[in-house]
């Protein structure tokens, strides 16, 4: 009896260690990605906009695709099955996304309407026009870091290899978007700006932790209440006393067949907590919002101010406030 129990225990232990070898106690890749997040950021919950973009792959699929990518003969790699199973977008019939012209990441390009808020109005009784708060949120899944590291280098010199591997025609909207994304990722950036593009959730978290440490607050706002309206500010308070005085980090989704996150932090950025009076169903209601202001050198000794609300897919990471 005791021997039988011992054998059973042995089986259980062998079973458990086999699972541990594959990746903690994860049963699928999304769980693996969550586990890695928890390791680095135990106090921070993963926001909905990211949960929706964790990899849908099973661990077995991940290992099979990894083996396929490792083979030198890539002609045997089934791009369609890879794109479909991993939640990627490898189709041609998608809109072109011009990241270089996007005003969030390139504030000198001001052609996008109403994205910016007037800094002078971020005060009690100020009036601002909220942007369209429902920009298309792309739900392209991130690859787990194992797979994203096996892809051809994330570099404009290697776009054709990525296109070939994923069976995406060059000159397509997707290939043009990819080039635009890489141009932004490889660009010099602003004075006082530190940025990084990550092709996995793990890479994004690593960048954030390298900038701010793991004691951070993460803010998102996917509400579209007040979208496009001219609204009154009823309260505005600038967040002070960030631990270490470090500037916040913001992350944006960039267009690519797999998840790409563009995260940057700019010296001298400020965060404002706002209370707004907006109209919903013909009634005035109060809505909270957060605005981020960057001060960018105009190259002639003066500063250009760029304030925008946090909304949609944006992630705002701030150091924790100091407790006095």
Ligand X SMILES: *[C@@H]1O[C@H](CO)[C@@H](O)[C@H](O)[C@H]1NC(C)=O
The binding site for ligand X (CB under 6 A) comprises 73, 75-76, 92-96, 152-153, 157-158, 161, 173, 192, 194, 267-268, 273, 288, 295, 302-303
Distance CA 250, CA 264 (A): 6
Nearer to ligand X, 58 or 161 (CB): 161
Nearer to ligand X, 214 or 286 (CB): 286
- For the CB of residue 90, give the shortest distance to ligand X in the complex, in Å: 13
Nearer to ligand X, 173 or 222 (CB): 173
Q: Are 319 and 213 in contact (CB under 8 A)?
A: yes
Determine the distance from the C-alpha atom of residue 278 to the mean position of all C-alpha atoms in its chain, rounded to a whole number. 28
- For the CB of residue 22, give the shortest distance to ligand X in the complex, in Å: 27
- For the CB of residue 49, give the shortest distance to ligand X in the complex, in Å: 18
Nearer to ligand X, 6 or 153 (CB): 153
- For the CB of residue 6, give the shortest distance to ligand X in the complex, in Å: 47
Find, among 138, 3, 149, 137, the residue nearest to 69 by Cα: 149
Nearer to ligand X, 42 or 93 (CB): 93
Q: What is the dihedral of CA 212, 194, 30, 18, to 10 degrees?
A: -70
- For the CB of residue 289, give the shortest distance to ligand X in the complex, in Å: 9
**Which residue is at the shortest CB distance from ligand X?**
268
Beta bridge partners of 295: 305
Structure tokens at 67: 């083996």
Structure tokens at 316: 């705002």
- For the CB of residue 142, give the shortest distance to ligand X in the complex, in Å: 20
Q: Are 85 and 56 in contact (CB under 8 A)?
A: yes
Determine the distance from the C-alpha atom of residue 177 to the mean position of all C-alpha atoms in its chain, rounded to a whole number. 17
Q: Are 146 and 62 in contact (CB under 8 A)?
A: yes
Q: Which residues contact 1 (CB under 8 A, 6 or more apart)?
A: none
Nearer to ligand X, 173 or 232 (CB): 173
Nearer to ligand X, 17 or 76 (CB): 76
- For the CB of residue 114, give the shortest distance to ligand X in the complex, in Å: 20
Distance CA 195, CA 187 (A): 10
- For the CB of residue 295, give the shortest distance to ligand X in the complex, in Å: 4
Pairing of strands 270-280, 230-238: antiparallel
The position carrying tokens 């946090």 is: 310
Nearer to ligand X, 98 or 121 (CB): 98
Phi, psi dihedrals of residue 162, rounded to the nearest 5°: -65, -45
């Amino acid at each position: 009896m005791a021997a039988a129990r011992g054998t059973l225990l042995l089986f259980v232990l062998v079973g458990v260690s086999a699972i541990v070898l594959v990746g903690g106690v994860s049963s699928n890749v999304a769980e693996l990605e969550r586990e890695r997040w928890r390791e680095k950021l135990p106090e921070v919950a993963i926001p909905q906009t990211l949960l929706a973009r964790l990899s849908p792959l099973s661990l077995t699929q991940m290992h099979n695709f990894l083996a396929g990518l490792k083979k030198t003969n890539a002609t045997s790699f089934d791009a369609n099955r890879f794109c479909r199973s991993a939640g990627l977008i490898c189709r041609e019939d998608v809109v072109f996304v011009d990241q270089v012209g996007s005003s969030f990441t390139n504030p000198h390009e001001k052609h996008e309407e109403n994205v910016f808020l007037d800094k002078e109005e971020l005060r009690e009784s100020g009036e601002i026009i909220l942007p369209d708060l429902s920009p298309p949120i792309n739900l392209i899944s991130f690859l787990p870091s194992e797979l994203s590291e096996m892809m051809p280098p994330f570099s404009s010199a290697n776009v054709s290899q990525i296109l070939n591997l994923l069976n995406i025609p060059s000159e397509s909207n997707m290939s043009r978007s990819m080039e635009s994304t890489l141009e932004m990722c490889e660009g010099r950036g602003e004075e006082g700006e530190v940025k990084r593009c990550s092709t996995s959730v793990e890479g994004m978290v690593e960048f954030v932790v390298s900038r701010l440490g793991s004691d951070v607050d993460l803010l998102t706002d996917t509400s579209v209440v007040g979208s496009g309206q001219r609204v009154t500010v009823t309260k505005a308070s600038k967040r002070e006393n960030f631990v270490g005085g470090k500037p916040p980090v913001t992350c944006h989704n960039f267009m690519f067949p797999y998840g790409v996150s563009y995260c940057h932090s700019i010296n001298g950025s400020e965060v404002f907590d706002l209370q707004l009076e907006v109209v919903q169903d013909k009634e005035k209601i109060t809505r909270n919002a957060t605005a981020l202001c960057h001060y960018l050198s105009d190259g002639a000794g003066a500063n250009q101010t760029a304030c925008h609300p946090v909304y949609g897919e944006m992630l705002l990471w701030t150091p924790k406030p100091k407790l006095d």
